[in-house]
Every structure is written in structure tokens, then in C-alpha cells.
Structure 1
């Protein structure tokens, strides 16, 4: 439910704060002849600074020069916005399917498997795009820094002239876009486990583990029963062996009794051996 509510909202904030950004830098140039000029440098998404140009006065010759900023950060910015837009569209589509087409969603387990796969992909895309955009934003700030722009102007490199930045860009929106990017990373990565549970794959793995443990337990029980049988057989043999006792004092021995018939006693002498014979 958290994924359904927060995923579209965070995606909207991510591409709105980055894609809708525009800023400007205002610089004042005071020439030595008391001639003053204010210059406004405007820029914005997708941050192709090679296309941003502005005119700067040449104080000594009373002419103007056209300068261009350096750097192109459009790939990282557009990649970040594209991921945010597609994540927003998929979140809306998944919400509609989940609430209104629940039966088709769970048919043959295709819907949960597809949702799990797309969640993993978007988690990776959010991570890559957020890192790329965070690095690109640091480059944007360096290019539009007032010291960097003033260094490009020939008039500002002359000691007799004075240059000053009147207005600097506000980076709050772009910093917020990076924050929303990493919030989307945590949201989509955290939803991987819930999407995995919807597929039912974890139940299959648990059943297979339980079956394997049961097989091992039954095998151990069979081994224990066989071992007890062997011990009982050995004790039975020992009992039979004990029944044949030798009477060293009498000089005779006795055979174990059986149920074949009443025994007959024969003695050759008073001190001779006693023999028990069963009549068949």
C-alpha cells in the first residue's frame, strides 16, 4: 500500500524539481570610465551550457563580446527525468491493475512475477540516475559560479574595472530533486521483498526445504531402527550362548532345552558326562 501511495508522488516531485528548473545569474560591470552595465545570464533544464550565451562590454573599446558557458549536463539530467516519468506511469498502471484487475493480475502468477522483475529494474535505474544526476549537479554549480563567470569576461580581468555578482542562482529545487531521487531508490528497493512475496516463490523454497528435512529425519529414524534390530539379534545370540553352560566341577555340559519332546537322561558312569537327548 505504501508503494501505491508514495511511488507516484515521489516520482512527480523528482521530475518536477529537476525538469522545471530555471535560474539566472546577474552580474554588474563597472568600467573605469564610469560606464556601468548589468548582465543577466539565464539557464535551465536540460543544462546545455554550450548554448547559453551573453554579451559583455569591452570597456576600453566600447564594444561588446559574446561569451558562451562551458559544459553539457543534459544526458544525466534527461536520464534522471526520464526514469522519473516512466516510474510515475508504471506506478499508476500498477495501481489500476492491482485494484481493478486482481483476478487477471494473479492468473498463472504472471502479474506478480512481472511486477517483481520491473521493481528490480526500476530500483537499479533509480540508483544509477540519482548518482549520475548528483554528480552532474555539482558540475552545474561549478560552471555557473560567479567567480567562474567573471573570469570569462575580459573587462573583469582588467584591474581598473570592477565586477560584482548581484544575484546568484538558487539551488534549492535541484538539491531537492537529488533527495527525491534517493528516496525513490529506497522506496523501490524496499518494495522488492514485498513484490517477491507476491510471487509465492519463497513459499516454494520453504516447502522444498521442509521436504528435504523430513526426508533426512525419516532416513535417520530408519538407521536407528536397523541399529536397534542388530543389537536385539546380538543379545538373542548371547542368550543362546549362555544357555550352553559348562559345569567344570561336574565334568559335564547341558544343551539348551527345546520343545521337541521330553528329554531322556543317559549316564555311562557316576562321574561321566550327562547327555540330554530329546525323543522325536
Structure 2
């Protein structure tokens, strides 16, 4: 095997330049999702009190909204205690998957750039190495596509009509 020789010329080619763009995009992906903070506010107007009150629920990564409770400056607004009211939903698994995938893409891009820039001479001198790498990546791509088709179609599990009833769907009619 050839020794590591850093050559920055491949960055001028599409393969190297696109790897740099992917690396930067992965940084933005996990930084924007992982550092996100937000809030939702409710403006409450009580019939007996002339002024309006604002109730705020703050949330952020990993988006466990069912743990974000509404906080009011006075505990009781319009004679209602707001401490136990929370937002609906737990999106932690999706957000954590997104951030984890972005971190793996970041690490992959760094590794691919180092290998591409450091071993360019080995890559260009061998005719089999690019074909092996392309074949392996193509196999991963086709396997991922097949898994996605399997999981997102009725091949994985039969459709469940009761799931639409719990999510606000229209119940099936018995014709």
C-alpha cells in the first residue's frame, strides 16, 4: 500500500468539492437541530379582568413536547392553574435520529476527504479499487432503498384502520 501524500488538487474536482459541501451541510444539519430552542405562547383574556395574560411553554432539542409545561407569571390565571398543562407530542426519536445521522455523515465526509486527498495516487493508479468502492456503495444504496420500500408499503404490515381513528381520521363505514 502506498504512503499518505496530501494532495489538495482533488478539491478542484467535483468529487472533492462535493465532499466539502456535504461536510459543511452536515455541520449545519446537526447544529441547527441540536441547538434549536423555541416557545409557544397563549394570550389569555379573562372576562372579569381587563388585562390579558400570556402563558408560555418553552421547548427545544430533543423535542419532548409532552414535558414542556405552560408557565404563567401568576400561577393562577382566570382561576385556572396552568402548571399541569403540557404540549402534545414526543418527537425525540425523530430528532435524535436526524442529529445522529448528521454526525455520522460529518464523520464519513472527513474520512472520505482524508482518504481521497491522501491516497489520490493509489486511487488513480488502480483500476479495481474505484470499481470495488463503487460496487460496495451501490450495494448499500440498493439495500437501503429496498429496506425503505419494505417498511413503507403493505409488505411490512397490513394496514390498520383503527390507527386512523385515534389520529382524527374518518372511521370506516360498514357498507
TM-score computed with the length of structure 1 as normaliser: 0.38
Deviation at 1:7, TM superposition (A): 1.4
Counterparts of residues 16-55 of structure 1 (less than 5 Å): 16-34=31-49, 36-55=52-71
Aligned: 1:113 with 2:129: no
Deviation at 1:27, TM superposition (A): 2.2
Q: Which has the higher helix share?
A: 1
Aligned residue number for residue 94 of structure 2:
76
Secondary structure (helix, strand or coil) at the match of 2:85 reads: strand
Deviation at 1:95, TM superposition (A): 0.8
Deviation at 1:101, TM superposition (A): 2.2
Deviation at 1:18, TM superposition (A): 2.1
C-alpha distance in 2 between matches for 1:17 and 1:122 = 27
Counterparts of residues 47-66 of structure 1 (less than 5 Å): 47-55=63-71, 57-59=76-78, 61=79, 63-66=81-84
- Partner of residue 89 from structure 1, selected from 87, 107, 115: 107
Preserved contact between residue 55 and residue 66 of structure 1 (Cα < 8 Å) = no
C-alpha distance in 1 between matches for 2:71 and 2:86 = 9
Deviation at 1:115, TM superposition (A): 5.9
Alignment gaps of 5+ in structure 1: 129-280
Deviation at 1:53, TM superposition (A): 1.1
C-alpha distance in 2 between matches for 1:62 and 1:70 = 19
Deviation at 1:118, TM superposition (A): 4.2
Deviation at 1:121, TM superposition (A): 3.7
* Change in 2 beyond 3 A, CA 1:114/1:41: same
C-alpha distance in 1 between matches for 2:27 and 2:69 = 31
C-alpha distance in 1 between matches for 2:90 and 2:102 = 21
Alignment gaps of 5+ in structure 2: 1-14, 149-175
C-alpha distance in 1 between matches for 2:80 and 2:132 = 70
Instruction: Output one character per residue of 1:155-213: Cα deviation in whole Å (capped at 9) or x when no partner.
Output: xxxxxxxxxxxxxxxxxxxxxxxxxxxxxxxxxxxxxxxxxxxxxxxxxxxxxxxxxxx
- State the superposition RMSD in angstroms: 3.3
Aligned length: 126
